[in-house]
Chains A and B, each alone.
Chain A
């Protein structure tokens, strides 16, 4: 039986297991929207197409499955660009579908025409322009395969309006055929032997655990490796949760706002084992002085990551879990207690000090808010979705993530406005999980229109605004590096409580430390989304800090004991 391109699109999506899409209709995608009604698809109507891409991204990060966003041509498509770039930087599998003007009108500057495949060329793993209904099924099949296999990433499908409208016989390809695509690799035995030699001779090794662990479900493999070889583990921001924070070998986060002892340990290590991380400048600081005495073994599924930022001694190209399982049987147990003890000594007593025991000086600090949210939610399946800035770093420092995919945040691109829509996507993907948005007052206002989506779709999440009246991280840089000249960082905010109530949602305001826990619990007990406006200390900074481009061990420390906490001792 013949089907239209629009019908084939949905038929193919359903066959790929899609049950939910995030989108916004418009002229060039109307035939697809019309056909959608006949398929078992939940459509979440967003308020801005950027939100749709972040939701698809949040959906993908929460589950590992491909998230789908859909929009019309022209402005609908260009609004997706930020979300696509965000997904690209963090290897998140999403498929974005955009309408396009009729194939005969392409190139004529038709109404709402834009070259979205050209625009998204550098920020997609692959993209397609589809002009014939015969191509739709194959392209959808390929797009999902490409998005989720190898190093995952976003794929965009641009479908012309006439393609959606015209008909052909539907044929579902059994296998995607892509002769030039190489998603999987296996390291050679020689490379494995070289790696083993370095591992066995290392006295001060350290594992750098990245997002690759989450993507390849390699938690058990990494833990087995670390325990057998007795190697401590440092986490990247996107690695958090991949290894339980409570695991004795887990040192905590590395990098610009990482724990001081972690950065010191990396600088003094004699072997770095980079597991699914990419030596981002935020974790290395100055690469010239980075881990100067360490040999480096890099395991990554993407060959283009090896020797990109840091020269490595052995590169193992392959899926992390499979590669570790290949190494595992040959790993000899070693006693490295001197090294592990030394790092414990670096921690001093700061690691065990509890910030909740510090006296209340009348100020509300973000650290307390986040630590309280953690205490109240840690015994339940919780996903925290953080935005970008100071609160993101405090979240990473004070929320102790135990489970993979329990932290969702924009790491590589650092996209402000990511958290609220991504949390909607995460909640739709995992309705049983409790979802908390931790967001700054600046970032929240970039995508706060999605409160309307929450209200319309009946989404039940909790939103914690860490409100300091500043673009906090930029203000911090101005304080440290620009002589406190606060150019364009103070914010005059709306009343977030009234604003939220205008959307028909519940909201609260918290100004004192003692009010945090009751408010958090009230929000958790409430059916439906609750926003809490936490009025925190305005000019607090994130410590420790490695100034951009500085040596990793040269950290700015908290100057006085405003709140002496574990993270900045």
Chain B
């Protein structure tokens, strides 16, 4: 699985361009999240795609061909933090409620809504943790699941979120300063 952090112009239709491009090149998007960034007019997408190394490079190079794509970082093999948020509605009975509360505590998940027959749990973590909580809650009956998909950020001072400045001239770049990987 490859994770791309993609900075794009905040224009109508950009999401369609990005998702359509990945689809038509024969890849399957596992998850895609999009939201605003610290820079006005720039949105950040985190895209998880199943692809081998060559496939990942093709995706990256093709993304750069979209005029509205400002920057692409494949953070898969860089030290990164991956997070996902999920909210789960679980069936409860007076007998099971306490058990579910305990499980939630183990996962450092929060109970955000309680009713007589169900409760809603919010969990944040990497996919493994979310999957694991879903597994242990399954026997109680999960009524509804909502997941955000993967978010990614480089650890330490590395930044995958600086869009090229307005004045930066990208019309002619040398390989040394090029963001696109050339050879393999």
By a beta-carbon cutoff of 8 Å, the part of chain A in contact with chain B is 117-118, 121-122, 125-126, 129, 146, 149, 177-188, 191, 194, 302-304, 306-308, 311-312, 314-317
Contacts and interface: CB of A to CB of B under 8 A. Distances in A.
B61 A185 contact: no
B170 A181 contact: yes
Nearest to B54: A307
B24 A122 contact: yes
Interface of B: 8-9, 13, 16-17, 20-21, 24, 54, 57-58, 61-62, 64-70, 163-166, 168, 170-176, 178, 180-184
Contacts of A306: 61, 182-183
A146 B65 CA distance: 11
Given A185-B182, A188-B175, 10 more contacts: A121-B20, A179-B163, A180-B66, A182-B178, A184-B172, A185-B173, A188-B174, A188-B176, A303-B181, A315-B184
B26 to A, nearest CB: 11
5 contacts: A122-B24, A146-B67, A184-B173, A185-B172, A312-B183
A122 B168 contact: no
Given A191-B183, A304-B58, A304-B62, A181 B67 contact: yes
Contacts of B184: 307, 311, 315
Contact of A179 (B66, B170, B172, B178): B170
A126 B67 contact: yes
A183 B164 CA distance: 15
Contact of A311 (B9, B54, B164, B168): B54
B176 to A, nearest CB: 6
Contacts of A302: 61, 65
Contact of B67 (A121, A178, A184): A178
A303 B64 contact: yes
Contact of A180 (B9, B13, B176, B181): B9
Contacts of A125: 65
B128 to A, nearest CB: 32
A179 B163 CA distance: 9
5 cross-chain pairs, A with B, having the tightest CB-CB distances, nearest first:
A188-B175, A304-B61, A184-B172, A303-B61, A186-B174
A542 B121 CA distance: 69
A289 to B, nearest CB: 19
B145 to A, nearest CB: 31
B16 A121 contact: yes
B54 A187 contact: no
A187 B70 contact: no
B16 A182 contact: no
Contacts of B62: 304
Contacts of B66: 180
B64 A179 contact: no
A122 B64 contact: no
The CB with the most chain A CB atoms within 10 A, among B165, B175, B180, is that of B175
A317 B67 contact: no
Given A121-B16, A191-B175, A307-B57, A182 B24 contact: no
Contact of A317 (B20, B24, B170, B182): B182
A191 B182 contact: yes
Contacts of B65: 125, 302, 304
Nearest to A182: B170
B182 A187 contact: yes
A317 B61 CA distance: 11
Contacts of A179: 70, 163-166, 168, 170
A179 B172 CA distance: 12
A180 B164 contact: yes
Nearest to B13: A117
A317 B67 CA distance: 18
The CB with the most chain B CB atoms within 10 A, among A118, A129, A179, A188, is that of A179
Nearest to A186: B174
A304 B66 CA distance: 12
B78 to A, nearest CB: 20
B168 A303 contact: no
B95 to A, nearest CB: 52
Nearest to B176: A188
A166 B20 CA distance: 33
A316 B166 CA distance: 28
Contacts of B16: 118, 121
Nearest to B181: A303
A179 B11 CA distance: 13
Contact of B180 (A149, A181, A185): A185
A415 to B, nearest CB: 19
B17 A315 contact: no
A316 B178 CA distance: 13
B155 to A, nearest CB: 26
Nearest to A126: B67
A278 to B, nearest CB: 13
B20 A122 contact: yes
Given A122-B20, A306-B183, A180 B68 contact: yes
Contacts of B164: 179-180
Contacts of A182: 64, 170-171, 173, 178, 180
A141 B69 CA distance: 19
Contact of A308 (B8, B58, B64, B163): B58
A404 to B, nearest CB: 24
Given A122-B20, A308-B58, A317-B175, A180 B69 contact: yes
B163 to A, nearest CB: 8
Contacts of B70: 179-180
Contacts of A311: 54, 184
A183 B171 contact: yes
Nearest to A123: B24
A314 B8 CA distance: 30
A315 B64 contact: no
Given A304-B65, A307-B57, A185 B178 contact: yes
Contacts of A149: 171
Nearest to A317: B182
A191 B170 CA distance: 20
B175 A187 contact: yes
A399 B63 CA distance: 40
A302 B64 CA distance: 10
A406 to B, nearest CB: 30
B183 A180 contact: no
B173 A186 contact: yes
Nearest to A142: B67
A180 B67 contact: yes
Contacts of B57: 307
Nearest to B70: A180
A314 B183 contact: yes
Nearest to B169: A179
Contacts of B61: 302-304, 306
A303 B24 contact: no
